[in-house]
Amino acid sequence: MAQAERTNGMEPLPRYSMPDRSEPRYELILGELENQRRSQIGRAFYYIRYDREWCALCKVTPAGGKVFFHEIMEHSRYGISDTDIEESVKLDTGIFSLPGHYHISAVIEKKLRALHDLE
């Protein structure tokens, strides 16, 4: 990961990185999500990260240029159960090229859209 340098005597803002110090592949993730209508709700794009030990609903909000706001969401706070996540993974057609990344299901989309419409 590239190191930020101090300028004008100020410390650089921290950059987001994965626990193994690699950088998330935001552009590839966003590129794949933009092709799926159900992934976009409002300005944000949603997807699932899943492996045998861990699952999460993730949200990417493009902010212009190469700036992305990435959030790992506590899906239970949005009425989305672990079973909803697991079903989404089972029903996925496998078009996401990154391992462990899955598109949201119609059930999850419906729940997120309902909450978005309330805002």
Q: What is the pLDDT of residue 98?
A: 85
Residue whose C-alpha is closest to residue 33's, from 52, 7, 61, 10: 61
Q: What is the pLDDT of residue 69?
A: 81
Domain boundaries defined on the chain: 26-118
Which residues make Cβ contacts (< 8 Å) with residue 12, sequence separation at least 6?
4, 5, 6
Q: What is the pLDDT of residue 108?
A: 94
**pTM, whole model, 2 decimals?**
0.73
d(CA 106, CA 111): 9
> Along the 119 residues of the chain, how does pLDDT read in single tens digits?
445 454 555 554 445 544 454 556 777 887 788 777 778 898 888 999 888 788 889 998 877 766 678 888 889 999 999 999 999 999 888 878 888 889 999 999 999 999 887 76
